[in-house]
Structure 1
Amino acid sequence: MATPSLALPFATDLAPAAVKTARATGTRLTVRGLSKHYEGLAALDAVDLDVGAGELVALLGPSGSGKTTLLRVIAGLLQPGAGAVHFDDTDATRLSLRERGVGFVFQHYALFRHMTVAENIAFGLRSRPRSRRPSKADIARRVQELLALVQLPEHGGRYPEQLSGGQKQRIALARALAIEPRVLLLDEPFGALDAKVRVELRRWLRRLHEQTGQTTLFVTHDQEEALELADRVVLLRDGRIEQVGTPAEIYETPASAFAFDFIGRASTIDGEVRDGRFGDGHAIAALPTDSAPGRARLYFRPHDAVLADMGFAGRVADIRRLAGVTTVEVELAHGGTVEVDVANDVAVPERGAAVHVKPRRYGVFAY
């Protein structure tokens, strides 16, 4: 089935009733000392995390870093070995998934194939105990409002196999929102989609979040996705939180060598810190740093360096021109290779020419 282009909703695109119904007050999420072990290995290691009401937070990290385990413990799908999860002032640690009132969206949609789209969305409401179950009329109204919210108002009578991947994911999201969850949890929500639909759907989700104000955590291994979508990014490594910050903070001021290397492109130079300056033994002008004396590695983004008269000596090894930018690969005199990005309209030396690389923004970490 051909995948249609996804329209991106602006505030005026959403039916007022849908916005009013979907709008959430937001729930504070607090995690303290959360640990989870499998056969002696720590999937989570004393994790502390605060998510503000109405925040959209990305859990980012490599495979095995603990991000999906953290999401599932928050949901109640897994019990922690230690620690606690609070929704506002409620200790939810021993509550079941149903008792916690979370909405969960899986990577592969998990829609019921034998149910229509409308029946899928209504499932959580119809499954409530009779005392808390809305009337049939209220359920039908809620389903129509959510279909309008996710921009599929005419699809209620269709079955999942009649939908594109992007449409299925939007229906899965509508089903999660139907129960008015305290917290919305998304586990690699766009992982099964092709690249173009991923980009369109995540921008749509960002606008939807701005409409609903729903406290949301989503797991992703795609750093571009995390930096574009989230209010804040939680970077995990080996079951621990490496850094928490806004997308700009995570990208521009990484707190560790791992964060610098994992987020975006990075070039590195090995050297030594001495008297408050980093050098490689061949630099004309060593760079100031507050790192401790000793062996260290300097990290910088290719677009945060220039080819200058002073800096780290080397020779041009390769030149690659792409749309809008030229990447100059430089072999350093002391060994190693770095990249420098320059605008396409800036003249660059020829291959083999002697140059100096001067990072303008960088981080220095011991190793």
Structure 2
Amino acid sequence: MCTLSDGTCCYGIYKDGRNGLCLPTNTYASLQPEVNNAIRISFFSFGLIAFVACVRKRYLLHCHGGSTIQKQVYALMLVASFTFLLRSIDPWSHEHIYPPVVSGLWVDICGASIYSVMILFTAFYARLVVPPARLGVAEHYIRGFTCLAFFLTWGVYVFIRPLYLVAHDTNIFRSWHLLVQYAVSAIDVLVTSSAAFYCGMHVHRRLAFIQEANARAVAVDTLRQQATLTRSKMSPPVLMSMPRQFVDCPPPSALLDDTPPSPILLHDPDSFDDDDDDAVDTGYDIAATLSSAPSSSSRVWKVTMLMEACSIGTIASAVVFMLQFIRDGCELPAARRLSRDGLPRHEPPPAMYQWPVFGFIQLIAIGAIYWCFSKTKQTPTDAFALQDQERHVASRVWGGGRTTEDTSI
């Protein structure tokens, strides 16, 4: 038997109405076994798919080279997806396999890992929008924001629940820690997502300006080619068979104001996406090459909007949960009645299972993050290849010091 200090059965076990015993077979899950098994299978299936996908992506990053933020993100997603495999054994301790502190800890670690990605995402874009001349000063603020956000996220999610539940064995039925967690997480996500949205849109506008300037440069170059063709009276096949490359321009010097930089290339011949094996022939016509290259500004916009949508969904769910939790007196009334009084005599047992909203929001967030950071760019090992890549890749938002590793999103 498992009994708490006040005679209440342990969380996950309901009291036998005939003899008042807390038998290990009288679990909450036994009241609704079909629903419990469906949730377990769903968590295991989605968790396994996410875990295998993240392992594959992490292996590709290790083999082909990837940016630092990509390696950090997919390491966190490995942790988040693996927690779903652990949670599928006993999602909410309703089978009395895990103690409540352990099953809750898997949920908290998953949430903290997802929020950590958002923090890294915000710091990444914040560094892009800062001019190089101010980066030395701004770096202190960015690091301070990052450390504070990590401390609040992991402190609230990893330490509050164990400390509160270990303090007294009956605290599980008066789960004040949930109110603290969701209140702090909603504020944390609101601040972090707002900063990420501002910086992301700033990067999007700057890349859009650079692409527009490049389009004008391509149009001018096309007119010059046509004029040269007219003057030299060369046939189009002969002229089009000649290889043409962009003329490398040195990056503009670091500015203290927000003056837009000179137009730069937005296409890297050495970059690749593991989901798209189409190679780009640099000997093609310059206009065809640029038209086939993906739009960096549009991808930044999509990533920013997707992350913001996930953040809004998380905040809305947290607010709804807090309102319901406050309405119930900051307790778990159904579980408390079952463990203290047993099954009701003349009415059906209370429904212990609801739609796992936060669990599926976490799965959606893992999928969204996987797509957002799926762009992989090769890191050349040869010194000359690296110098050539740094000259040709236009991934400097402010015109200096940022290579492909900094703009792999």
Q: Is the pair's TM-score, using the shorter chain for normalization, greater than 0.5?
A: no
Structure 1 or 2: larger strand share? 1
| Greater RCO (Cα-Cα under 8 Å, separation 6 or more) | 2
Q: TM-score, normalised by structure 2?
A: 0.19
Higher helix share: 2
